[in-house]
Structure 1
Amino acid sequence: MESNRDEAQRCVRIGRAALEAGDRERARRFLHKAERLYPSAQARDLLEALDKDNCTSENESQSTKASAGQEQSKPSAPTGASGETVKRFTKEQMEGVQRIKKCETYYEVLSVSKDAGEEDLKKAYRKLALKFHPDKNHAPGATDAFKKIGNAYAVLSNPEKRKQYDLTGSEDQVHSHHRNGSFDFHRGFEADITPEDLFNMFFGGGFPSGSVHSFSNGRARYSHHQHQHHSGHDREDERGDGGFSMFIQLMPIIVLILVSLLSQFMVSNPPYSLYPRAGVGQTIKRVTENLKITYYVNKDFQSEYSGMLLQKLEKNIEEDYVANIRNNCWRERQQKSDLTHAAKVYRDERLRMKAESLSMENCKELQRLTSIYRGG
């Protein structure tokens, strides 16, 4: 059942996107599928919120009709021939969107080299995210460009995802296309967090106008750009459920498992572990000199490691530990963000309290490590 986790997470992401687009039936279908593949609190919470919304939708519909007459008397904003609000954009903004659309790799999207470091990625993302945020850039395709920029940063800033991405090649090889040339962000290398949440983490909430999300009958959804992006996905999502497609998706995991099994026969065990391992004798507790990270070694460790060799090993231990804590903190933030978003959309006090009660232990530990770095 553990092998179904990735597919279940993909179904949860599709279901959440369908909820934001207002398609409750599609959301329910994929959330139930996620529960069958690999039960999770994330899918259950969204299903509970969806069931609760069904009970209140009829009352909300009646109140909407009652207020419709009043809103007709209010002056309306300028609209185009299709009835949508006319939003102006510059030639430079349009050219920028076209450039992002033509980029074949994430490095081209962020305009960085393949050896770009963390600070270079952050600087490039901040500049582009502010330029292409849909609240500021109203050119056609700006929302898709914004998502692509966020996805590029989320993948390249994650060491594991970046390594896999570099091995695979260009974006055309990991994303499937659909009509109108837009990308299917539900497949291939996708971020563990939405582009909007990533933007809010960098800029503390982003732009206040709120045109990226519009609310109707208690359901959050993107503006008309989001509807254009999600239209036509049903056929491709159903096609991805086939056995051959599943095999292709699982192929990298199978290869990694085989490589891991082979490495166990070819490579000796590391001289340390972050947890006690009685099977290999690593039960003696030690602490790194710099960050005070606890690790475990065997009885022959002190005779083999000392001086510069010990310092180098402890540096590797600390890097391993920090990377693990950073990834766990990222997941904790995503879980809290999902619960908070669902509580806000469905006005569910229980979900809000659950989000606030999350301990966020890994994020607290990451904050402690960061303070040590700054102090040093």
Structure 2
Amino acid sequence: MESNREQAERCIEIAAQAFKEYKTQRANNFLNKAERLYPTQEAKDLLEKVREFDNDQHVRRILGCKNHYKVLEVAKDATDKDILVAFKKLALLVHPDKNRAPRAKEAFVKIEEAKKVLSNPIERSSYDLNLSIETDYGFYENNNSFEYKSTGTNDEADEDLNSQNDDPIPKSEKWWEREAGYHLLVLLPVILLILIPAVVWGMKLLFVSPSIYTLTPEKTHLIRRRTVAAKIPYYVTKHFSEELQYYYDGSLRKLELEVKNEYKTKLTHACNKEKKLKEYWLEEAENSFNTKMHERVQRMKTPSCDTLNELFTDSSNQSHSYFSNIFASVVNFLHF
């Protein structure tokens, strides 16, 4: 037992030195070994300090990351499964219930946002497009902070403006200075702050039916399905059969048509954003006479537009071809 105690003390000394050198993994290993050999309060206290330091380091790393891939520590070609595994691993480290670091909540929100964006194919493609431009050309330095600075002053114009703003009505005759009107004016923002959310909530209850599906996995919508025709992924709850019967009279075709339209709308929005972004950088390249940059931007992909064309343009062409063939057959028959 005495030899165990001496070995434990030696382990604590090595751990303390490792902790001073910021080698927390080494310190943690030796402290755990000291606890197994001969448990002491000194080892427990030092182990707690090491863990607190580790927790703070995890939070600092996440808050210091500039893009979602670095936040989750995954590669740019990471699959949905890789992203989910990375998120769960980090959630265990920085969740406010387990991590007592002051900014743990901020870090947890940041990894949630990263997982949400990278798990959504449409948002991820748009994000990757922005990220590629930022990485290749460094156009987003200084966090897109632009300052407007006046090119000069015009004292006479300022004086004219001030003179026009002078109120010709005597202060004693202003209606809002009277007691009733004044108090109403003061309370008006508070009244609106209470009424507007209540009205919006009431309108939602009256006119908006709850969605029985989502295009991305949510807390209540985790069961993955695909539309029969276009194979568009969507997510439903475990009570899908009952909800389909209640809200869509059991018509899966009606639901999947709605899924298709919503997916098309989101793809169209993302595609327009990608096109505008590409056009912007092409114009920048032309204005700066940068041939290399112009060529690289021209090669820039627009994944949302590609998906949109693949899923919807082909189907419309097929439909047009089908009706054209029918029309041609009828004409040939009549001519015969």
Task: Normalising by structure 1, report the TM-score.
Answer: 0.29
Q: Which has the higher contact order (CA 8 A, sep 6+)?
A: 1
Query: Considering only CA atoms, is the larger Rg found in Structure 1 or Structure 2?
Result: 2
TM-score between the two structures when normalised by the length of structure 2: 0.33
